[in-house]
Amino acid sequence: MSYIQAIIIAIIQGITEFLPISSTGHMIIAESLMKIDNPEFAKLFTVNIQFGSILSVLVLYWRRFFQSFDFYLKLLIAFIPAAVIGFLLNDYIDALLENVLVVAVSLLLGGIVLLFVDKWFKNAKDTEPPKISFLTALKIGFFQCLAMIPGVSRSAASIVGGMTQKLNRKNAAEFSFFLAVPTLFAAAGYKLLKSYHTIQSKDISLLLVGNIVAFIVALIAIKTFISFLTKYGFKVFGYYRIVLGAIIIILYIFGIELTII
């Protein structure tokens, strides 16, 4: 992987991590198009640069992380389903990361869902701060597990999960951001521990560059997304997912299959 490739992937990560369009799916597609020559490091890089995205949430919402102990307990409860299922199915999830067709189908189906989300859950509670019970946090955590399928989008799954629990779009999105901190930290940390013995000196600099770029881009993306989502809802993201997923499926049908090599 070159530095240019690392920067491009990190920009994609920073833009898409908190949008309901699947950051992992977009990075898999990008890596396929760029013909990354080291697929194992590409997997590590894809997961590891999530540290940069985590830092962007902590910087933007640092005051919210100085709340009561209940705040952290609810994040922990919401995180547990992904931690358990992710640990048990880690190898299976890794295998799915190599399948661009899975990403395409997930993008397409998820896009269809997003077209109707605003109508389905229009009777949301606009309380500030949002009232999230421990049971609500757990339910959102189970929704987040859907994102273990590449292309589903962790952000989309957890935001929709929040909206099913009567949270409005803004509150659901912000809880999704907060939940990203333990979830992405655990995923990135676990992947790094498993792969640290294979990391070379150039790999370290690539990871540092990737995390810095992802951090800067994610800062901008989060602020823009919240404003856009509050005003316009999910339909634009739904149409985007449908078009992108359909294009990839059409390419596959005609024998132009994108694969990570």
Nearest partner of 148 among 210, 196, 82, judged by Cα: 82
Residue 142's Cβ-count burial label (10 Å; 0-12, 13-18, 19+) is: middle
Tell me whether the omega of the peptide bond preceding residue 81 falls within 30 degrees of 0, making it cis: no
What local confidence, expressed as pLDDT, does residue 124 receive?
Answer: 65
Other CB atoms within 10 Å distance of the CB of residue 30: 19
- Given a contact cutoff of 8 angstroms between Cβ atoms, the answer to whether 9 and 45 are in contact is yes
What local confidence, expressed as pLDDT, does residue 96 receive?
Answer: 67
Name residue, tokens 């779009």.
169
What local confidence, expressed as pLDDT, does residue 260 receive?
Answer: 44
What local confidence, expressed as pLDDT, does residue 261 receive?
Answer: 38
- Given a contact cutoff of 8 angstroms between Cβ atoms, the answer to whether 248 and 107 are in contact is yes
Nearest partner of 55 among 195, 154, 185, 175, judged by Cα: 185
What local confidence, expressed as pLDDT, does residue 257 receive?
Answer: 59
Name residue, tokens 């690392």.
6
What local confidence, expressed as pLDDT, does residue 97 receive?
Answer: 64
Work out the angle between the directed axes of helices 201-232 and 235-253 (0-180°, nearest 10).
130
pLDDT in tens, the chain (261 residues): 889 999 999 999 999 988 898 887 788 778 778 877 777 788 788 888 989 999 999 999 988 888 778 889 999 999 999 989 888 877 777 666 667 788 889 999 999 999 999 888 876 666 666 778 999 999 999 999 998 888 888 899 999 999 998 898 889 999 999 999 998 888 888 878 877 777 787 788 999 999 999 999 999 999 899 888 888 889 999 999 999 999 888 988 887 655 543
Q: In sequence order, what are the residues at sequence separation of 6 or more whose Cβ sits closer than 8 angstroms to the Cβ of residue 227? A: none
Task: Return the DSSP state at 166.
Answer: T
In the chain, the amino acid numbered 42 is A
What local confidence, expressed as pLDDT, does residue 1 receive?
Answer: 82
Task: Return the DSSP state at 3.
Answer: H
Nearest partner of 115 among 245, 246, 236, 247, judged by Cα: 236
pTM assigned to the model: 0.83
- Given a contact cutoff of 8 angstroms between Cβ atoms, the answer to whether 169 and 124 are in contact is yes
Torsion, Cα of 89, 11, 101, 247 (10° steps): 160
